[in-house]
Structure formats: structure tokens, C-alpha cells
């Protein structure tokens, strides 16, 4: 049973991480060249895997069902708890609203085409939100089962896509260097956010139990699978098109059309769109599961049918409302996603682990690196936030 939960949890981590935003990675890193993009991907993976393990170090000294709300209160007090709660709600509501709005548009197109109907995108958004809310309310085990199915199909689609595009990869494109030095710094927030899964860690701990050895496997393997897929995706997307062609591909739709034309088959476009649908679904499941358990802990809801329905309403009604009536607000908020994620996935784990180690009264699992590791993670977080701010001020190029 534990092994089964461990494998399922790996898929939840990987499914949450590999979202539809993966399709935009080649465009966001177009001016970097493959080698530089590879280095940034590995560095981001190291940072996010390290801070995920820091979260496990904290969880072993907390109740099994503790979320970021409880962890922050234990080690950072009320002020830390307020910062953690604001970061979590801000980021995850923004993500959920974006998934509902974007997924609603995709679902509307699929329903209208398949059933020859003419439903509005708002109706499709409501349907999508209700379906995801229903699955989340059933519990993590049901999310695990559905996520495994969707993730397995997603891997098959990706493998097919890689098979169709590999013959068109040119080594000369992969050897191209960054067009501007500023683009390396500008790409940091985009690449960093492509490894965001930390909000679902408390849900996984609650599901698997405080088995540190198993949880370490979940975090490391769950984060490594996206890294491998991202590298292959960069290898193919940047290998079949030159940097200038990628930069001038006129956004994601233009990129997809260019790739389809190079491969001389419309099947590529179909595979990419199917992957986008599956990636959005698995990411939405992981994000909403983390937010659901966060609210259940924050508002001390009972883990029965009525309590879970109440938590689902708190989790899904606000982002659904904003997605339907004021989508611009949360779409704009996504521009600050990197900053919120740095606070959530880097600053909070580092500061909480530092406090925990200072007040440790009993031995337990400790992530290697000591204070130097914590300091390097902190410096990386500051660099990412500085990069995002410099882009907003127009000091360095804005990409992604």
C-alpha cells in the first residue's frame, strides 16, 4: 500500500509541475540557446528539490495533517503565518482562476466540436470547475487514481511527439549562444516557476504518512521526471528551429504552427493540443488539492462529507467568480507568480528550517548542506525576485 501511494504521489508532484506552461518554455528561452537553458533548468531543479526536502525536514516535527499554515505558525509565529497564508492564497487562487479561464476555453472548443453544440466559454469554465471540485472532494486517493491515468496518457502523447519531431533536430541550432547577456537573468523567473509543486507537499505528506524515506523518493523522483522531460522538450524545440525563428514565431500558436509545418504533418498540432489539455488538467488537480487541504487546515474543517463540501466551496468559488467576471485581475496577478513562489517555496522553508534547527530538541532527518545550503538557497531566491523586478522596471529584457 505504501509503495502504491509513493508511486502515485510521484505522479502528483510531476503532474503538478508539468503544466501547459511547458509549451511556452522554448519561446521564453528562445534567446538563450540550448546549453544555457539546460544549465538554468538543472539549477532550478536543484533549488526546488532542495527546498522540497527542507519541507520534509519540517513535517517530521509537525502533525501529519499540517499544512503551510500550521508549519509557519509553529516556527515563525503569527507574522510568519500571515505571510505564508497570503502567499499561498494569492498564488494558488491566481493559478486556479487561470486554469478555470484557460481550461474553460479549451473545453468549450472540444465540446462544441465533438458534440456540434454552441455552449459559451463561461459555461465550460463552470463545468470544468465543478468536475475538478468533485474529484478533489472525494479525497487524495481519488485524485491519485485520476492523475495516474491522465499523466500516463500525457507521457504517451509526449513520447509520440518526440518521435515525430526528433528527425528534424539540427545540431547547429543547439550550439547557438545567448543573443543578449540580460536574457539569462530575465529567463530565471520563467524557468524557476516551471518547477513549482511545493503547495501540494502537505497533501502528499498527509496521504503517504510521515515516512521520510518514502517521501524523499517522492520529492526527488517527482521533480526529476519534469527535469528530464523539459530537457528533451528543449532539445527538440530548440533543435528544429533557429533562435531567430523561435523569437519571431508570434507566440505559442505561431510556434505550434511552425513546428507542424516543419514536420509536414497536422498530427503534431493535434498531439501538442492534446498535451496542453492533459497538462492543464493534471496541474489543476495538484494545485487545487494543495489549496483544498490548506483551507481545511486553516479553517479547521472536519474531514467528513459536509466539511469537505464547505472546503471545496472556499477553494473553488472565488477563483471561479474571478475567472468569469474579472479574469484580467488574476491574469495580471500571474505576472507576480515568480515572486509569490519564491516566498512560498524558498524563503519560508529556509527561515522555518533555520528556526527549527536552532530550537531542535530531538534528532531527526536533516537535509545536507547546513547553513551554507540555506544561505545559497536564500541568495537564489533574492536573485529571482530581483530579476522579476528589473523586468518590470524595464532594466532588462522581458521574456516569457
Backbone angles phi, psi at 367, to 5 degrees: -70, 135
Distance CA 201, CA 207 (A): 10
- For the chain, give percent helix, strand, coil, nearest 5: 80, 0, 20
In the chain, where are the structural domains located?
2-392
Q: With contact defined as beta carbons under 8 Å apart, do 297 and 70 qualify? A: yes
Q: What is the pLDDT of residue 332?
A: 67
2-17 and 267-298 helices, crossing angle to 10°: 110
Closest Cα to residue 282, out of 1, 20, 4, 7? 20
Which grid cell is 138?
Answer: 472525494
Q: For the range 66-74, what are the long-range contacts, defined as Cβ-Cβ under 8 Å and sequence gap of 24 or more?
A: 66/202, 66/205, 66/297, 67/202, 67/293, 67/294, 67/296, 67/297, 67/298, 68/199, 68/202, 68/294, 68/344, 68/348, 69/294, 69/297, 69/298, 70/297, 71/202, 71/352, 72/348, 72/352, 74/352
Q: Which residues are CB-contacts of 145 (< 8 A; sequence separation ≥ 6)?
A: 8
In what helix (H) or strand (E) does residue 68 lie, and over which residues does it extend? helix 68-115
Closest Cα to residue 139, out of 23, 311, 392? 311
Which grid cell is 318?
Answer: 472565488
Q: With contact defined as beta carbons under 8 Å apart, do 268 and 237 qualify? A: no
Q: With contact defined as beta carbons under 8 Å apart, do 286 and 9 qualify? A: no
Q: For the range 226-229, what are the long-range contacts, defined as Cβ-Cβ under 8 Å and sequence gap of 24 or more?
A: 226/14, 226/17, 226/18, 226/45, 226/194, 226/195, 227/41, 227/42, 227/45, 227/195, 229/18, 229/22, 229/158
Q: What is the pLDDT along the chain (400 residues), one digit of tens a residue?
A: 667 899 999 999 999 998 867 877 887 777 788 888 899 999 999 999 999 999 999 999 999 989 999 999 999 999 999 999 999 999 999 889 888 988 888 888 888 888 888 888 889 999 999 999 999 999 889 999 999 999 999 999 999 999 998 998 888 888 877 656 667 788 888 899 999 999 999 999 999 998 999 999 999 999 999 999 999 999 988 888 888 787 777 666 777 778 888 888 888 888 888 888 898 899 999 999 999 999 999 898 888 889 999 999 999 999 999 888 876 666 667 778 889 999 999 999 999 999 999 987 777 899 999 999 999 999 999 999 999 999 888 888 776 5
Q: With contact defined as beta carbons under 8 Å apart, do 365 and 56 qualify? A: yes
Q: What is the pLDDT of residue 399?
A: 66
DSSP 86-127: HHHHHHHHHHHHHHHHHHHHHHHHHHHHHH-----HHHHHHH
Closest Cα to residue 122, out of 149, 106, 148, 104? 104
Architecture of domain 2-392: Up-down Bundle (1.20)
Q: What is the pLDDT of residue 362?
A: 74
Distance CA 198, CA 219 (A): 10
Q: Using the 8-state DSSP alphabet, how is residue 382 labeled?
A: H
Distance CA 18, CA 15 (A): 5
| pTM of the predicted model as reported, rounded to 2 decimal places | 0.90
Q: Is 361 exposed, middle or buried (0-12, 13-18, 19+ CB in 10 A)?
A: exposed
Q: Which residues of 344-360 are buried (b: 16+ CB within 10 A; e: fewer)?
A: bbbbbbbbbbbbbeeee
Q: What is the pLDDT of residue 216?
A: 96
Q: What is the pLDDT of residue 21?
A: 72
Which grid cell is 183?
Answer: 536574457
Amino acid at each position: 500500500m505504501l509503495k502504491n501511494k509513493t508511486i502515485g504521489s510521484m505522479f502528483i508532484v510531476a503532474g503538478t509541475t508539468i503544466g501547459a506552461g511547458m509549451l511556452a518554455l522554448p519561446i521564453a528561452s528562445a534567446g538563450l540557446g540550448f546549453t544555457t537553458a539546460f544549465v538554468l533548468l538543472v539549477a532550478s531543479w536543484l533549488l526546488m528539490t532542495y527546498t522540497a526536502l527542507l519541507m520534509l525536514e519540517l513535517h517530521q516535527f509537525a502533525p501529519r495533517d499540517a499544512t503551510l499554515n500550521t508549519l509557519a505558525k509553529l516556527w515563525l509565529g503569527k507574522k510568519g503565518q500571515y505571510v505564508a497564508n497570503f502567499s499561498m492564497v494569492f498564488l494558488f487562487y491566481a493559478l486556479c482562476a487561470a486554469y478555470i479561464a484557460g481550461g474553460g476555453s479549451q473545453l468549450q472548443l472540444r465540446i462544441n466540436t465533438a458534440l456540434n453544440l454552441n455552449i459559451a466559454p463561461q459555461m465550460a469554465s463552470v463545468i470544468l470547475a465543478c468536475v475538478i471540485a468533485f474529484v478533489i472532494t472525494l479525497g487524495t486517493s481519488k485524485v491519485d487514481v485520476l492523475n495516474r491515468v491522465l499523466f500516463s496518457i500525457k507521457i504517451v502523447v509526449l513520447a509520440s511527439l518526440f518521435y515525430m519531431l526528433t528527425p528534424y533536430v539540427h545540431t547547429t541550432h543547439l550550439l547557438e549562444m545567448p543573443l543578449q547577456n540580460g536574457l539569462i537573468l530575465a529567463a530565471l523567473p520563467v524557468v524557476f516557476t516551471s518547477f513549482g509543486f511545493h503547495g501540494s507537499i502537505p497533501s502528499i505528506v498527509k496521504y503517504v504518512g510521515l515516512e521520510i524515506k518514502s517521501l524523499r523518493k517522492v520529492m526527488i523522483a517527482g521533480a526529476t521526471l519534469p527535469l528530464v522531460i523539459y530537457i528533451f522538450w528543449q532539445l527538440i524545440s530548440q533543435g528544429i528551429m533557429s533562435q531567430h525563428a523561435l523569437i519571431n514565431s508570434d507566440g505559442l500558436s505561431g510556434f505550434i504552427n511552425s513546428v507542424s509545418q516543419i514536420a509536414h504533418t497536422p498530427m503534431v498540432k493535434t498531439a501538442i493540443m492534446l498535451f496542453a489539455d492533459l497538462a492543464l488538467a493534471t496541474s489543476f488537480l495538484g494545485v487545487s488539492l494543495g489549496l483544498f487541504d490548506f483551507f481545511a487546515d486553516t479553517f479547521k474543517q472536519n474531514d467528513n462529507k459536509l466539511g469537505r463540501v464547505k472546503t471545496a466551496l472556499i477553494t473553488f468559488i472565488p477563483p471561479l467568480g474571478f475567472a468569469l467576471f474579472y479574469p484580467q485581475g488574476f491574469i495580471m496577478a500571474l505576472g507576480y507568480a515568480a515572486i509569490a513562489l519564491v516566498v512560498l517555496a524558498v524563503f519560508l522553508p529556509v527561515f522555518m528550517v533555520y528556526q527549527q534547527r536552532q530550537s531542535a530538541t530531538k534528532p531527526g532527518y536533516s537535509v545536507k548542506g547546513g547553513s551554507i545550503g540555506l544561505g545559497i538557497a536564500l541568495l537564489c531566491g533574492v536573485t529571482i525576485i530581483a530579476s522579476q523586478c528589473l523586468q518590470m522596471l524595464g532594466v532588462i529584457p522581458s521574456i516569457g
